Amino acid sequence: MKPKREPRPRRCCECRRWYRPGPSAAKAQKTCGKRCRLRRRAKHEAARREADLPAARRRERARKRRQRERQTGAGPPMSRAGLSAQSSAAIEEIVEKLGHAQRMSRAGLRRQLRRLALGELARGAAEPGA
Ligand SMILES: [Zn+2]
């Protein structure tokens, strides 16, 4: 591997000031900082929108729809092909518990999941062939 040299100073394509790119972005960085980066992105997005307005409107509608679905929890139901009703119920239960996990300690979460797993095993033994 070549020894990493100090990145050469470059000209910001937005404000034309000189800057030193970060070592991890030495070849790709085009702007001096966050302000110019956001300005450059906005210009690119505006150009992209103008180049194909219908596609841009489709993208905007899709983004709004996804945001709406995220907030209301609506949207098409997830496919559960290949999962038995029992395991899919167990998964739903675990997802529900994980929703509380942020408020719970790791030990508490572990206890909950262990209890769930043991419950599954007991149910599985009680109904053979399920
Ligand atoms: Zn700049």
- Distance from the CA of 107 to the center of ligand 1, in angstroms? 48
Which pLDDT belongs to residue 73?
80
What's the chain's average pLDDT? 81
- pLDDT, residue 96, reads 74
Q: What is the pLDDT of residue 130?
A: 45
Tell me which residue of 112, 125, 113 sits closest to 86, measured CA to CA: 125
pLDDT score at 102: 63
Buried b (16+ CB within 10 A) or exposed e, 16-25: eeebebeeee
CA distance 7 to 67: 40
Distance 41 CA to ligand 1 centre (A): 12
**Distance (Å) from CA 5 to ligand 1 centroid:** 23
pLDDT at position 126 over 70: no
Q: Give the per-residue pLDDT at 125.
A: 62
Phi first, then psi, for residue 4 (nearest 5°) are -75, 120
**How close is the Cα of 23 to the center of ligand 1, in Å?**
17
Note the pLDDT tens digit of each residue in 15-50: 999 999 998 888 899 999 999 999 999 999 999 999
pLDDT in tens, 89-105: 776 776 676 676 666 67
Could you tell me the distance, in angstroms and rounded to a whole number, from the CA of residue 93 to the centre of ligand 1? 50
- 31 exposure class (CB count in 10 Å sphere: 0-12, 13-18, 19+): buried
